[in-house]
Amino acid sequence: MDSESWDHRGYMVSDGDVEWLSAMIDRCPELKNKRCGCKTHKELSRKDDSGRWLMPENITWEETFPMRLR
């Protein structure tokens, strides 16, 4: 692992965006294969120049919240 994230954020999205994301994940032929080259893996593994995960481009979010273990 060449990077580590300590800022875990959740994103408030619409029900429609959740349904779209769920359908997109269901279309992946090899969910557990990190090297799968399908559209789902390409879209959901995008990162910026500093290695931070990028939200899929067509999802709109208004608010984030911290994700913490209790």
Q: Quick one: pLDDT at residue 57?
A: 83
Using H for helix, E for strand and C for coil, what is the string for the chain?
Answer: CCCCCCCCEEEEECHHHHHHHHHHHHCCCCCCCCCCCCHHHHHHCCECCCCCECCCCCCCEEEEEECCCC
User: Does residue 3 lie within any of the structural domains?
Assistant: no
Q: Quick one: pLDDT at residue 27?
A: 94
Split into its structural domains, the chain has a count of 1
User: Does residue 33 lie within any of the structural domains?
Assistant: yes
User: Does residue 31 lie within any of the structural domains?
Assistant: yes
Instruction: Give the structural domain span for 62.
Output: 9-66
User: Does residue 24 lie within any of the structural domains?
Assistant: yes
Give the predicted TM-score (pTM) of the model: 0.67
User: Does residue 25 lie within any of the structural domains?
Assistant: yes
Q: Quick one: pLDDT at residue 4?
A: 63
28-66: pLDDT as tens digits: 999 889 889 999 999 988 888 988 888 888 888 878 888
